[in-house]
Structure 1
């Protein structure tokens, strides 16, 4: 399975069926290797993957991430095998522990310690069949312990909301031969004030989640950087902005740090499909 050099990450819950088909056409038409999607409170991850695979021709489709509290390990393994058998081996299963509000508040489960919970889940997947799973299994790994688990037990990692410095650390932790597919938010916008305003709006939902906050503090951001919507330094690191050349340089920094794949997430006003598609087109040759 080839994820390609570049992918696109998109919050698919915002789109209906026609919108999803249009997005697939844009991403595939500009030569990207993979479309990545989340699992939050909208579309169910595996059902959505089937739709995306059925409505594309060559794109790899990756969950970023499928919530381990949403389905048992046996089901996850069978879902991975089913999608790959029926769609030419084009599905990558990114797994994550999600966050307390989504696990306990929405799903009604108890949120366990992330690394032991993920280790037990992967063990359950191994017990669910003979041999290796039929397709790539990747972890949403931020901290050193989850990265070590990804290196030891899976095909690699799909870090989210990170910097090239984190990418460097993750590449070292994973070692050679592993997938390191890094998400990076982008805004092709030369008005810095507008780009930062869009970035703050997009990041607000993540800045109340301890998993991300703790990782940002490990990366050298301060409590002050994360206060009042985020400092300019923090926002500029999380959302690359400027003209297309400036954004491309920021994306290339992840490759230079050891990423094997970078998936860009266009940051626009919600519903501004024209701006989204223009950014995807402008950055396709990074």
Structure 2
């Protein structure tokens, strides 16, 4: 088995579990608030922090602020949207961060949605073709050249074709919102030498009944996407738009409840082959409350892996 140096370094730097910053669409927390959040999570014992990106929010700028504010955190894009910038610019930005903060940056790339491509005047086309062309374009020569620094590239990939592409042209994959059985299949597709980061939705609430209902709402939102329903059906889980997901589906897809319950779901994905699990809280949760939740969860995560 051959493991790339970037993959091996990322595995050690990321550790088994990380936190994705809460996603807010109505306002953007200030840089001061973001710095404080990064320091709190680092002091709580998290080794990795991830952020999302939409058109109009630059993930590289965001992470540069967090890297400067912390001492040890490894940061990653979960994901950097390929419609937000040309591929050569993405590589230049990633390489610059990797040069400035060695072994503390992972680039996750995602193809996003048709409306994001349309918003910048680009045709969405085939997701596989778009992603292959983008990753290939990242290696195009520029003048001046990008810094000669190493960082891992992984692709947001739930379906089997995108997972196969991730294993072919990048250092690994980042599936999201799927059961441990999918993690096992993703590891089989990628092989042992690739980085597998799993994004796991988490509802942190000691009231189990309330936590499950919140988790059910999360799955209901996902159920509006036919591709999601088709993917989970391959593993024996059924849900559809305008139906209420049953407990079996909710419990399989979303970690919810007490810190110990969430830690156990993380263990399931690690046992299935994930190198790293990053937690995602429901969209719309208030930023400060989300950070408080991660801090309260941290003691239960010590020793995972």
Calculate the TM-score normalised by the size of structure 2.
0.83
Residue deviations 1:216-242 (CA, integer Å, cap 9, x gap): 333332244x54353332222222123
Does 1:178 pair with 2:210?
Answer: no
| Larger RCO, structure (CA 8 Å, separation 6 or more) | 2
Match in the other structure for 1:82: 96
CA gap of 1:285–1:25, structure 2 versus 1, over 3 A, is farther
Distance 1:180 1:173 in 2: 11
Distance 1:42 1:201 in 2: 27
Match in the other structure for 2:33: 19
* Structure 2 portions without partners, runs of 5+: 1-8
Of 66-75 and 10-19, deviating more is 10-19
**SS state of the match for residue 263, structure 1?**
strand
Distance 1:208 1:75 in 2: 33
Of 45-54 and 183-192, deviating more is 183-192
How far off its partner does 1:269 sit? 7.7
How far off its partner does 1:145 sit? 1.1
**SS state of the match for residue 139, structure 2?**
helix
- Contact 1:268–1:276 (8 Å) recurs in 2: no
How far off its partner does 1:133 sit? 6.8
CA gap of 1:57–1:260, structure 2 versus 1, over 3 A, is same
Match in the other structure for 1:241: 256
Distance 1:19 1:202 in 2: 26
Distance 1:133 1:124 in 2: 17
Count of aligned residue pairs for this structure pair: 284
Of 131-140 and 158-167, deviating more is 131-140
Residue deviations 1:40-88 (CA, integer Å, cap 9, x gap): 2552112112112111111111001111111111111111111111222
Of 160-169 and 205-214, deviating more is 205-214
- Correspondences of 1:41-52 after superposition (within 5 Å): 41=55, 43-52=57-66
Match in the other structure for 1:126: 139
Does 1:283 pair with 2:297?
Answer: no
CA gap of 1:193–1:41, structure 2 versus 1, over 3 A, is farther
CA gap of 1:260–1:208, structure 2 versus 1, over 3 A, is same
Of 230-239 and 45-54, deviating more is 230-239
CA gap of 1:282–1:15, structure 2 versus 1, over 3 A, is farther
Q: What's the RMSD between the two structures over aligned residues?
A: 2.6
- Correspondences of 1:3-82 after superposition (within 5 Å): 3-13=14-24, 15-41=29-55, 43-82=57-96
- Contact 1:64–1:94 (8 Å) recurs in 2: yes
CA gap of 1:210–1:8, structure 2 versus 1, over 3 A, is same
Distance 2:205 2:87 in 1: 42
- Contact 1:268–1:275 (8 Å) recurs in 2: no
- Correspondences of 1:242-281 after superposition (within 5 Å): 242-267=257-282, 270-271=285-286, 272-273=289-290, 274-281=292-299
Distance 1:54 1:263 in 2: 21
Distance 2:236 2:30 in 1: 39
Q: 2:122 aligns with which of 102, 106, 109?
A: 109
Of 212-221 and 15-24, deviating more is 212-221
Distance 2:149 2:163 in 1: 19
